[in-house]
Amino acid sequence: WNPFAIRRIFSWAVAALTARDTGRLLRFVAEAEDFVGDEAFTPAMLEELGKLVPADAVTYCELDRVRQRFRHAVDRSGDGGDVALPVPYWEIEAEHPICCRHEFRALKLSDFLSRKQLRRSRIYAVWFRPIGIEHELDVAIPSPPWHTKTFLFNRFRGRDFTERDRLVLDLLQPHFGRLWRSAQTRRRLRA
């Protein structure tokens, strides 16, 4: 990628991000290809993403919604990806305020439920509270509804994600798709 082309892509959002944020975002995009191998998203990449959008846990997940199974999941190193889920995801999928939508922009739990509403909900009782999640910000890579590809950023306490966090993920979203396609091409070529 040409650094000048990258700057043009982000030029419309520069005013909304600090110069420091803009520089960090551009560096991430320029260096992201170094993280990609046969898998597009690695723990090391998620570690760098967690520096751009601070979170207690950062996960990338692909779901086969027809067969109701996880196709692929990656957690940032040290996030405890082997934590047992309180109930099978498929039992709460339709109730999850973000997951029940098929949108390709960054969405927060608080876009749909106030903190009070969330804490009174069934999904909080059976899913979020047992895991310890108070705030979630997700961004999906464009994909068909039967094979979703989503980044999840979770905070266990403290403040909600900001509009700056949302903007960072919205700006990165097209690059995530490009990286996923590059990894898929590499896998096919090796096969």
pLDDT along the chain (191 residues), means of 10: 49 66 90 78 91 95 89 80 73 88 90 93 93 94 90 94 95 91 80 73
* Strand boundaries in 34-181, DSSP class E: 57-64, 69-75, 107-108, 135-141, 147-155
**pLDDT, position 1:** 46
For residue 53, give Cα distances in angstroms to 6, 123, 163, 171. Answer: 19, 25, 11, 12
**pLDDT, position 112:** 93
pTM score of the predicted model:
0.86
**pLDDT, position 80:** 62
- Count CB neighbours of 4 within 10 A: 7
**pLDDT, position 17:** 84
